[in-house]
Amino acid sequence: MDKNKHSKQDEQRIRVLLGDWSTCQQDALAVRYEVFVCEQHVPPEIEADSEDASSLHAVAYDGQGVPVGTGRLLPDAHIGRMAVRAPYRGRGVGSRILMALVDEARTRKYPQVVLSAQVHARAFYEAHGFVAQGDVYLEAGIEHLAMSKALSA
């Protein structure tokens, strides 16, 4: 029971840091490598790309300062590389990251945000106001779906 109580305390202490690639690279890559390369078998040479340098990154940390999730906002209003380490899924970490990136997109006065969602995460994004568009397609061998969300000031 103490372990569960500790987890709930950590969950409440999740903080999301927004920053450029030089600030977030080490922690974002650690999470992305674990989730995309190790779990989902995405080739490491396509996981990191040239978009990282020009994107705003979000990294979520637990109560001990361990990076547990990440995502990025590209200059073209595309949200991507959303990843949460397995033990932290279902605890609101992804929601906090997504909301931070959407809020930043609003600040930048983007009329909408778009993303390429893994099909299994469709309901998560729909719960945050995203709408699916088009047909399912393969990206890095994983089924994806284009989704968008209109933003208001």
Helices (H) and strands (E) in the chain, counts: 5, 7
Domain extent listing, the chain:
2-150
Instruction: For the chain, give the percent of residues with pLDDT over 70.
Output: 92
The answer as to CATH 3.40.50.300 being correct for domain 2-150 is: no
Residue 99: left (phi > 0), alpha (psi -120 to 50), or beta? alpha
- pLDDT range class, residue 32, cuts 50, 70, 90: very high
Q: How far apart are CA 85 and CA 115, in angstroms?
A: 20
Closest CA to 73 of 33, 110, 43: 110
Query: Is 80 exceeded by the pLDDT of residue 111?
Result: yes
Query: Is 50 exceeded by the pLDDT of residue 19?
Result: yes
Instruction: Write out pLDDT tens, residues 53-105.
Output: 999 999 999 999 999 999 999 999 999 999 999 999 999 999 999 999 999 99
Tokens representing 7? 């987890």
